């Protein structure tokens, strides 16, 4: 069965309690459950990882090569800073979806630039936690066309 890797970056372990006015009340466990159920409807399994450490996320991307069909990633603050994460994602040549719960373009100016958006197969911004489901649907469609 094809699989997806779900990666959530720094501070996303605080979902449900961190700035609920920005991120809502859903927890990381809710995100994982939504991604797993959406992926299962499309015939995919999911392996998930959250880390506050850039290198751990990069290692997971490297390990996905040959093991996953695609990656769904919310890189958190690394979106705006990590060339290394971008290089890992392009280096493994797996299709990936970039997800952001909040509308990063309506927030502070430093959040407006993403090092990933221009190389992502799917970008979902500002749809809250339900945006993860759309990312899974669109990514699995893109994988099916590959």
User: What residues are labeled active site?
Assistant: 23, 100
Q: Half-sphere exposure of residue 34, counting CA atoms within 13 Å on the CB side?
A: 17
Please give the structure tokens belonging to residue 32: 């994982």
70-74 and 96-100 strand pairing: parallel
Q: Which residues partner with 47 through β-bridges?
A: 5
Distance between terminal CA atoms of the chain? 16
């Amino acid at each position: 069965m094809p699989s997806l890797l779900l990666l959530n970056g720094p501070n996303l372990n605080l979902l449900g309690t961190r700035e609920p006015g920005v991120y809502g009340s859903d927890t990381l466990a809710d995100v994982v459950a939504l991604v797993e159920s959406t992926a299962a409807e499309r015939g995919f399994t999911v392996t998930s990882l959250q880390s506050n450490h850039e290198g751990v996320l990069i290692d997971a991307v490297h390990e996905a090569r040959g093991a996953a069909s695609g990656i769904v990633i919310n890189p958190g603050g690394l979106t705006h800073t990590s060339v290394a994460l971008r290089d890992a994602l392009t280096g493994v040549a797996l299709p990936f979806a970039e997800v952001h719960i909040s509308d990063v373009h309506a927030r502070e100016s430093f959040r407006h630039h993403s090092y990933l958006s221009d190389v992502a197969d799917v970008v979902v911004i500002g749809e809250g936690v339900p945006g993860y489901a759309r990312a899974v649907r669109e990514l699995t469609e893109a994988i099916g066309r590959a």
